[in-house]
C-alpha cells in the first residue's frame, strides 16, 4: 500500500461533512436581513433583524460542530467538535466499492457503524468538502482493494467475515 506517499508526505487531509441543504440557512439569514431593512414598521424591522441574527448565530454554531473526516497514513477517523468519534485503520478496510462516473466510494471494514460512504454528487443528504480530492486520495491508498461497480445504490452484500465459512443447515 502507498499510505504515506499518497498523503503528501504522511500528513493528514481533512474533509468536512456538508449537508446538501447548507445554503438554506444563508438564504433565511438574508431574508431576515432584507425584512429588517425594507419592513414598513419598526416592529417588523426589529423582528426581521432579530430572526436574521438568531439564524446567523445558529448557522455559526452548527458549522462548528460539523463532523470532519481525517485521512492519514494510519487510516481514517471522524471528529466532531475536536473529539474523535470513530477510527478505522487502512488494514481493517476489506474492500472499496467505486463508482468512477460519480467519484463515489464505499469503504467496507466489516463493521457497518464504521464503514465510510463518499456519496455520489446527487441523491444523498450529505457530501464532503472537496469530494473529488477525497476520492482520489482514498483510491491511491487502498488501490489493491478496489472493486469498480456501475452504481453504488446497487451494492453487493457485505464483505465476508475473516475466518472459515460456516455452512447453513
- Walking along the chain (169 residues) 10 residues at a time, the average pLDDT comes out as 45 86 82 89 91 88 85 92 90 90 87 88 80 89 84 60 44
The pLDDT assigned to 4 comes to 40
The residue ranges of every structural domain in the chain are 5-19+67-153, 24-64
State residue 160's pLDDT score.
Answer: 47
Q: Which single residue is written with the C-alpha cell 461533512?
A: 17
15 Cβ neighbours under 8 A, 6+ residues apart: 68, 69, 70, 71, 128, 129, 130, 131, 133, 134
State whether CATH 2.30.29 applies to domain 5-19+67-153.
yes
**CB atoms closer than 10 angstroms to residue 128:** 21
8 A C-beta contact, residue 29 and residue 58: no
> In this predicted structure, what is the pLDDT of residue 168?
42
The single-letter DSSP state of residue 63 is H
Query: pTM for this one?
Result: 0.69
- The CA–CA distances, whole Å, from 124 to 6, 46, 108 equal 28, 37, 19
Q: What is the DSSP letter of 22?
A: T
Q: Where are the alpha helices (DSSP H) in the chain?
A: 24-38, 42-64, 131-141
Nearest partner of 64 among 83, 48, 77, judged by Cα: 83
Amino acid at each position: 500500500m502507498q499510505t504515506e506517499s499518497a498523503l503528501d508526505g504522511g500528513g493528514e487531509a481533512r474533509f468536512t461533512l456538508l449537508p446538501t441543504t447548507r445554503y438554506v440557512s444563508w438564504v433565511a439569514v438574508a431574508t431576515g436581513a432584507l425584512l429588517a431593512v425594507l419592513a414598513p414598521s419598526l416592529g417588523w424591522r426589529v423582528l426581521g433583524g432579530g430572526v436574521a441574527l438568531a439564524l446567523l448565530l445558529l448557522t455559526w454554531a452548527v458549522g462548528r460542530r460539523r463532523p470532519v473526516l481525517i485521512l492519514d497514513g494510519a487510516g481514517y477517523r471522524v471528529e466532531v467538535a475536536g473529539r474523535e468519534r470513530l477510527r478505522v485503520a487502512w488494514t481493517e478496510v476489506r474492500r472499496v466499492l467505486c463508482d468512477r462516473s460519480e467519484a463515489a466510494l464505499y469503504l467496507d471494514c466489516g463493521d457497518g457503524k464504521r464503514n465510510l460512504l463518499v456519496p455520489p454528487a446527487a441523491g444523498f443528504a450529505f457530501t464532503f468538502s472537496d469530494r473529488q480530492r477525497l476520492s482520489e486520495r482514498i483510491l491511491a491508498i487502498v488501490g489493491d482493494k478496489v472493486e469498480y461497480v456501475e452504481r453504488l445504490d446497487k451494492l453487493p452484500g457485505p464483505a465476508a467475515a475473516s475466518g472459515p465459512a460456516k455452512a447453513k443447515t
